[in-house]
């Protein structure tokens, strides 16, 4: 699978909005009129206060993810030295084909390229079992020291039931 992973440009925002909306609605996570859908669809605000990245396949945006750091407006659980990602969405038409896994791997690669980052925080609702399975499978794929992924920290955003998974980022020695 040939994917290009890059920061979103303003010309991508409509595609990011479409992919994110369609992914969340098709999964049944929220109704179209749920207030959080407005947050997800406000790509311009996200891009102003965080990093929005896209995955392209054949020149079409097929996935999007938001990257943020401790203390930034879109950060919910990141501590100093952590890159937090959230709002990962894959176009429902190609879900199950490995795009989400490829995006998470690229986020991990990106985090490893940042000298000040030692871990990745992942904000995910408790009802997003498919996402949790993906994150946990990636954590168990590579041996590491420490505790690996955990559900130890809870989000303080006021959304009940949100938890985080933490992935240590190991650098080559």
CA neighbor of 6 nearest in space, from 109, 82, 79: 109
Strand ranges in the chain using DSSP code E only, listed in sequence order: 4-7, 51-57, 60-69, 82-90, 119-125, 162-168
CA distance 110 to 104: 10
Give the containing element (helix H, strand E) for 16. Answer: helix 13-26
Residue 143 to residues 24, 108, 116: CA-CA distances in angstroms? Answer: 32, 15, 22
Instruction: State the first-to-last Cα distance of the chain, in angstroms, to the nearest integer.
Output: 29
4-168 architecture in CATH? 3-Layer(aba) Sandwich (3.40)
Tokens 């030295």 belong to which residue?
A: 81
Any idea where the domains of the chain sit in the sequence? 4-168
* Per-residue model confidence as pLDDT tens digits over 75-121: 887 888 888 888 889 999 998 888 888 888 888 888 888 888 888 87
pTM over 0.75: yes
CA neighbor of 65 nearest in space, from 119, 12, 130: 12
* Per-residue model confidence as pLDDT tens digits over 123-146: 766 666 666 666 666 654 433 333
């Amino acid at each position: 699978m040939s994917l290009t992973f890059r920061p979103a440009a303003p010309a991508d925002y409509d595609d990011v909005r479409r992919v994110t909306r369609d992914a969340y609605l098709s999964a049944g996570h929220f109704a179209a009129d749920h207030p959080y859908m407005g947050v997800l669809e406000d790509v311009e605000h996200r891009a102003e206060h965080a990093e929005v990245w896209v995955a392209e396949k054949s020149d079409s945006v097929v996935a999007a993810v938001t990257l943020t750091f401790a203390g930034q407006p879109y950060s919910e659980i990141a501590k100093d030295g952590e890159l937090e990602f959230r709002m990962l969405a894959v176009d429902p038409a190609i879900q199950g084909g490995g795009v989400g896994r490829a995006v998470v791997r690229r986020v991990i690669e990106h985090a490893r390229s940042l000298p000040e980052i030692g871990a990745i925080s992942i904000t995910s609702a408790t009802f997003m079992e498919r996402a949790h399975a993906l994150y946990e499978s990636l954590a168990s794929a590579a041996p590491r020291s420490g505790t690996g992924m955990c559900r130890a920290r809870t989000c303080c955003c006021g959304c009940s039931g949100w938890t985080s998974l933490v992935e240590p980022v190991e650098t080559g020695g």
